[in-house]
Amino acid sequence: MSEAFKLDLTQRPRRLRRTASLRAMTEETILRPADFIAPLFVVDGKAKPEEIKSMPGVFRLCIADLVKECRALLKLGVPAVALFPKLDPRLKDSEGTEALNEDTLILRAVRAVKAAVPEITILTDVALDPYTSHGHDGVLNAAQDDVENDRTVGILCKMAVMQARAGVDLVAPSDMMDGRVGAIRRALDAAGYTGTGIVAYSAKFNSGYYGPFRDAVGSAQAAGTRLLSKATYQLNPANRREAINEAILDEAEGADILMVKPAGMYLDIIRDVREITRKPVAAYQISGEYAQIHAAARLGWLDLARCRHESLLAIKRAGADLILTYFAKEMAAAL
């Protein structure tokens, strides 16, 4: 009988994978509940939680249930929530005027959460798409064929100040208008809200994965299509250098945190942004990413728990300090 074949190796990397304890000791990237920001959808009235069909396990919540959810998240160690309103369509118009109503839904929701759960950090979206009848993130020009940059930024500044006044900790302009971070910073400071931070959606791509979110906030129905193109203001998915330029500009204009959105298909951009800034980097695991994992798991093609964890691990490994994810609550419970 011939002798067993044996390699003469000094380096055997598998030595450190041999047992569970060795693997734990040498693990390089670790997820914590504190890494997550939970996006939550709020509706008016006293309706029971309504599940969003394209986002299993995600619900539109009335303000009372939103408060309960924030309390539960904080108890699990999730430190922050990002709030998004779903408005009655009758409140929408081409100018998004409801966004500047002092008693609009999102401001009432912020005040309620801050009163009941003051320890939780609240982010609010600064963009007009939940408020406009056409579904765009700003007001349209005279030809109705593009978003008017500067007039939109003027409205966003007013929105940000109103949100800060309601008690928001971090305003998050997601509109991708030129110059809006600097303008919002100046507006907040002028109004006395120097402590209110800005999470800039610095590299937000014109992705095909936003459909379920547009269902959730009703901007798809407003526009009459889930496939609304925002190519004149959101980034071309093909452009890496342009994304880095946007992040550099936002940092220079006063952003406190830089965000990449979507996360999973843009891990290279997360890494690029991580390498050009010392600011915290956030990444948004968006609705389409969440939905596709759930859909494949329901068909029995993927293990939900393993793929959920792996997808978030990849985002953090790429360089994200903070992750907005619809998996926040269940991941925090699992961890």
Confidence band, pLDDT 50/70/90 cuts, at residue 148: very high
Range scoring the smallest mean pLDDT among 121-130, 213-222, 263-272: 213-222
Q: Which of 86, 92, 114, 204 is catalytic?
A: 204
How far is 114 from 227, CA to CA, in rounded Å? 35
pLDDT of residue 212: 84
Query: Does residue 254 fall inside a structural domain?
Result: yes
pLDDT, tens only, 174-212:
999 999 999 999 999 999 999 999 999 999 999 999 888
Q: Give the chain's radius of gyration (CA, Å).
A: 21
Residue 232 lies in a domain: yes
% of the chain surpassing 90 pLDDT: 90
Q: Measured between alpha carbons, how far is 247 from 254 in angstroms, rounded to an integer?
A: 11
Would you place residue 220 in the very low, low, confident or very high pLDDT band (cuts 50, 70, 90)? Answer: low
261 is catalytic: yes
Please list, in sequence order, all residues whose beta carbon lies within 8 angstroms of the beta carbon of residue 112, skipping any fewer than 6 positions away. Answer: 63, 64, 66, 67
Catalytic residue among 86, 114, 261, 316: 261
CB 292 within 8 A of CB 328: no
- Decide: helix, strand or coil at residue 188: helix
Residue 158 predicted with pLDDT over 60:
yes
**Looking at the predicted structure, is the pLDDT value of residue 144 above 90?**
no
| Domain presence at residue 187 | yes
Residue 235: inside a domain, yes or no? Answer: yes
> Does residue 223 carry a pLDDT above 50?
no
Mean of the per-residue pLDDT values for the chain?
Answer: 95
Per the domain annotation, does 16 fall within a domain? no
Is 313 within a domain? yes
Query: What pLDDT shows up at residue 104?
Result: 98
User: Is 215 domain-assigned?
Assistant: yes
pLDDT tens per residue across span 10-44: 999 999 999 999 999 999 999 999 999 999 999 99
Domain contains 8 = no
**Residue partners of 51: CB distance under 8 A and separation at least 6:** 57, 58, 59
Confidence (pLDDT) at 1: 58
CATH number at residue 166: 3.20.20.70
Note if the pTM is more than 0.75.
yes
pLDDT of residue 218: 73
User: How far, in Å, CA of 129 to CA of 223, rounded?
Assistant: 10
Across 287-294, average pLDDT: 95
Name 258's bridge partners: 200, 281
pLDDT score of 222: 46
Query: How many folded domains does the chain comprise?
Result: 1
Is 158 known to be catalytic?
no
Domain that holds residue 165: 30-334
